[in-house]
Every structure is written in C-alpha cells, then in structure tokens.
C-alpha cells in the first residue's frame, strides 16, 4: 500500500508534502505531484501538511478518486525508480488522466 495524490492537487502543486517527505518520493509533473509507490515508506508525513487535502492512504481513497492510484503508479512507467525526486526537478509529463483534465481552480 501507499499514499496517493488526487485531483485537488492538479494545477495547485503546493509542495508542502515535498518538503515534509523524509524519503524524497514525491515527484513533480507539469500539472500535479505524484507519489512513487515503490519509494514511499508509508510514513504518512505528507498527508496532514497538504493544504488541499489531496493525499490519501490508498485504502482510504474516496470512491471518485480511485483512478488516481493507477495514475500515480503509471506516471513512473517511463522513468522507473530514480531514487529521489530532488535530483530530477519538474518532469515534463503528466499521466493522461491528469493531462486530460480541464484547468483546475479557475
């Protein structure tokens, strides 16, 4: 199991979770942040600091956000497990689910 970033992060990307994550497993795409499921240690430090309440433990996802489990995992299909987000910076990509969303928060 892992933590999952959901729709309320799209186009916001506050990054408080990135600062709090002790294992640097939260990566930044163009429109959203993504938690690497193999690098996450399930510590939960990211969840309470998210101002948009976009982060959920996988078992606690609201029914309308379940697709974000796959979106978070599949985001890493191309890049694998780099072993830390800080060295990569923003990745010029988003999962198709997120890329297809209309602009959020407007």
Instruction: Return the CATH number at 22.
Output: 3.30.70.20
Please provide the DSSP assignment of 38-54 as one string.
TT------HHHH-TT--
**Per-residue pLDDT tens digits for 3-22:** 999 999 999 999 999 999 99
Q: Is-contact 32 80, C-beta < 8 A?
A: no
Residue 57, in any domain of the structure: yes
45 within a domain of the structure (yes/no): yes
* Boundaries of domain holding 21: 3-99
- 104 falls within a domain: no
Q: Which pLDDT score is estimated for 94?
A: 97
64: tokens are 């309308």
Residue with tokens 């910076």: 89
* Residue 106 lies inside a defined structural domain of this protein: no
Q: What is the pTM of this model?
A: 0.95
Residues of the chain with pLDDT under 70: 106
| Ramachandran angles phi, psi of 17, nearest 5° | -65, -35
Residue 105 lies in a domain: no
């Amino acid at each position: 199991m892992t933590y999952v970033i959901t729709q309320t992060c799209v186009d916001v990307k506050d990054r408080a979770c990135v600062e709090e994550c002790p294992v640097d497993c939260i990566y930044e795409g163009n429109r959203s942040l993504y938690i690497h499921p193999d690098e996450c240690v399930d510590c939960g430090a990211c969840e309470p600091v998210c101002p948009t309440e976009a982060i959920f433990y996988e078992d606690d996802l609201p029914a309308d956000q379940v697709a974000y489990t796959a979106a978070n995992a599949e985001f890493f299909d191309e890049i694998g497990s780099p072993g830390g987000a800080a060295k990569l910076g923003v990745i010029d990509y988003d999962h198709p689910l997120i890329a297809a969303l209309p602009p959020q928060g407007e």
